[in-house]
């Protein structure tokens, strides 16, 4: 097992990893920008190193500074969390060359899954269904021919992208050229890669994802699925497990197929396969692979709540070369009860505009079946430089309705003053008849507003 892990991240995920390290008896090193000097992950870690000024490119994305911090603190491994450098194959390779274990997938898997076109092709070759689509579009004429073949509407996606950047929905062929150029520009600016591809657009599908864990030797366990349909601009706001859309037979078939496909590529570490899901008028289910995220997810918590598996500890154990406890994990993968997570952001509940500033009063809910993953505290100043996620409220109940009742109670107890948050949005959502009846799709938030 590792002796010391450097956590190459900030916020609630950095704190989550530090807690896992402490439970495993591993020393932790926090890195931070000057804007995060008073952050909770810095206070809780065994050691901390300031690596630069607030802009991410000069701190949390600055590979030389992170490697230097690991070297001066004698860390023997690096955990990247999610976001920042978590899916950066170059960073994983630099860690390896510096004698550090990168706690995550192999660089080749990160490159494979980081390119959505390659990932689609690979998963399709192993029996995972994908939407009709293209490879990287090189010319306008190629794009026009693809639309003729696939049919409207279509969606343009950045091959190296995520978070909605570079995505453009095309309903009219006359807009294709302009939107193609815009998508390429956004992809270049956001990911340093202008490549885009075309896919058939599914209007108002559900978004369902499968949590996997593999040992790099072909042994893989699928730890159930999560429903992530409630989104705003392709950013998830609410996640739950298991999905209320699936029958037990559909769930078993999906997990078996995913396990087989991921085992074929000998995947190492935790990862998530994301799908669009729609049900035809005759009730037949259809899953379409979108992408694989080769890292721990924000919403890993709901899987932990229904399975009892500590995904971060498992991720560390696998990186240390300890064997995957396949039979034990498969037994735990049988979901117990229902879990729901809501993401609490420092933003205006109506406009979703960011709301940095000092937290003047704070009360977090508790009680049975309530979990808070957060790095904030009373007096903490939410900086304007980073993602607006400040807390995750996770609840667990014996079934979905009891989980919703617990969510309502916990949201009513949650108090954050001094900044604006989306707590009111979540309170309205928890009372929504469509939410209660699980009438969910990716346009849910549009209908709420």
pLDDT tens per residue across all 449 residues of the chain? 999 999 999 999 999 999 999 999 999 999 999 999 999 999 999 999 999 999 999 999 999 999 999 999 999 999 999 999 999 999 999 999 999 999 999 999 999 999 999 999 999 999 999 999 999 999 999 999 999 999 999 999 999 877 678 899 999 999 999 999 999 999 998 888 999 999 999 999 999 999 999 999 999 999 999 999 999 988 999 999 999 999 999 999 999 999 999 999 999 999 999 999 999 999 999 999 999 999 999 999 999 999 999 999 999 999 999 999 999 999 988 879 999 999 999 999 888 899 999 999 999 999 999 999 999 999 999 999 999 999 999 999 999 999 999 999 999 999 999 999 999 999 999 999 999 999 999 999 988 87
- For domain 132-200, the CATH architecture is 2-Layer Sandwich (3.30)
Domain range annotation of the chain: 4-103, 132-200, 206-448
pLDDT at 333: 87
- 111: annotated active-site residue: no
Name the residue with tokens 């809501």.
342
Q: Are 271 and 289 in contact (CB under 8 A)?
A: no
Q: Give the CA diameter of the chain.
A: 62
The phi and psi torsions of 363 (rounded to 5 degrees) equal -135, 120
Half-sphere exposure for 414 (CA within 13 Å, toward CB): 28
pLDDT at 19: 98
DSSP letter assigned to residue 130 = B
- The length of the chain in residues reads 449
Task: Count the neighbouring beta carbons within 10 Å of the beta carbon of residue 92.
Answer: 27
CA-based end-to-end distance of the chain: 50
Q: Which fold has domain 206-448?
A: D-amino Acid Aminotransferase; Chain A, domain 1 (3.30.470)
Of the residues 10, 16, 232, 295, only one is catalytic, namely 295
Task: Count the neighbouring beta carbons within 10 Å of the beta carbon of residue 305.
Answer: 25
CB-count exposure of residue 141 (10 Å: 0-12, 13-18, 19+): exposed
Name the residue with tokens 């003729």.
148
Q: Are 198 and 154 in contact (CB under 8 A)?
A: yes
Confirm whether 4-103 and 206-448 share one CATH topology: no
Give pLDDT tens digits for 197-224. 999 999 999 999 999 999 999 999 999 9
Going by C-alpha positions, the residue among 139, 169, 167, 137 that lies closest to residue 153 is 169
What CATH number should be reported for the domain whose range is 4-103?
Answer: 3.40.50.20
Going by C-alpha positions, the residue among 275, 163, 264, 266 that lies closest to residue 209 is 275
Name the residue with tokens 């369902």.
208
pLDDT at 29: 98
pLDDT at 180: 95
Strand order across the beta sheet in which 77-79 lies: 47-52, 27-33, 4-7, 77-79, 101-102
Q: Are 344 and 421 in contact (CB under 8 A)?
A: yes
pLDDT at 319: 97
CA pair distance 448, 127, nearest whole angstrom? 37
Three-class secondary structure of residue 179 per DSSP: helix
CA pair distance 372, 395, nearest whole angstrom? 9
pLDDT at 192: 86
Q: Kindly provide the b/e burial profile for residues 74-91, where b requires at least 16 CB atoms within 10 angstroms of the residue's own CB.
A: ebbbbbbbbbbbbbbbeb
Strand order across the beta sheet in which 154-158 lies: 168-170, 154-158, 196-200
Instruction: State how far Cα 123 lies from the chain centre.
Output: 19
């Amino acid at each position: 097992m590792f002796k010391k892990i450097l956590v190459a991240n900030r916020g609630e995920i950095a704190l989550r990893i530090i807690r896992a390290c402490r439970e495993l008896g591993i020393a932790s090193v926090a890195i931070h920008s000057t804007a995060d000097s008073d952050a909770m992950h810095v206070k809780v870690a065994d050691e901390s190193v300031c690596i630069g000024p607030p802009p991410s490119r000069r701190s949390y994305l600055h590979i030389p500074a992170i490697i230097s911090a690991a070297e001066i603190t004698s860390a023997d491994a690096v955990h990247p969390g999610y976001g920042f450098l978590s899916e950066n194959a170059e960073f994983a390779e630099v860690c390896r060359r510096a004698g550090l274990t990168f706690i995550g997938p192999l660089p080749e898997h990160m490159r494979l899954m980081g390119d959505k076109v390659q990932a689609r092709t690979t998963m399709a070759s192993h029996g995972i269904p994908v939407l009709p689509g293209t490879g990287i579009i090189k010319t306008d004429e190629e794009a026009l021919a693809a639309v003729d073949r696939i049919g409207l509407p279509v969606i343009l996606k950045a091959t190296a992208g995520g978070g909605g950047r570079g995505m453009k929905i095309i309903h009219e062929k006359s807009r294709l050229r302009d939107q193609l150029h815009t998508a390429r520009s956004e992809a270049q600016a956001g990911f340093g890669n202008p490549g885009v591809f075309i896919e058939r657009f599914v209007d108002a599908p559900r978004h369902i994802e499968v949590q996997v864990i593999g040992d790099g030797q072909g042994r893989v366990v699928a730890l159930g699925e999560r429903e992530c349909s409630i989104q705003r601009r392709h950013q998830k706001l609410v996640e739950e497990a298991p999905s209320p859309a699936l029958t037990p037979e559909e769930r078993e078939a999906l997990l078996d197929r995913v396990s087989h496909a991921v085992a074929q590529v000998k995947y190492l570490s935790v990862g998530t396969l994301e799908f669009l899901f729609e049900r035809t008028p005759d009730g037949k289910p259809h899953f379409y692979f979108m992408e694989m995220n080769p890292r721990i997810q924000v919403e890993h918590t709901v899987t932990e709540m229904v399975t009892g598996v500590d995904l971060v500890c498992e991720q560390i154990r696998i990186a240390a070369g300890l064997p995957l406890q396949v039979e034990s994990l498969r037994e735990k993968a049988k979901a117990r009860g229902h879990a729901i997570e809501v993401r609490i952001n420092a933003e205006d509940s109506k406009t979703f505009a960011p709301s940095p500033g000092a937290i003047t009063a704070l009360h977090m809910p508790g009680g049975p079946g309530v979990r808070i993953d957060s790095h904030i505290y009373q007096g903490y100043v939410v900086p304007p430089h980073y993602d607006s996620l400040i807390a995750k409220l996770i609840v667990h109940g014996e079934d979905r309705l009891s989980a919703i009742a617990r969510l309502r109670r916990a949201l009513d107890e949650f108090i954050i003053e001094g900044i604006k948050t989306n707590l009111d949005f979540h309170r309205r959502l928890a009372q929504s008849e469509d939410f209660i009846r699980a009438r969910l799709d990716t346009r849910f938030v549009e209908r709420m507003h």
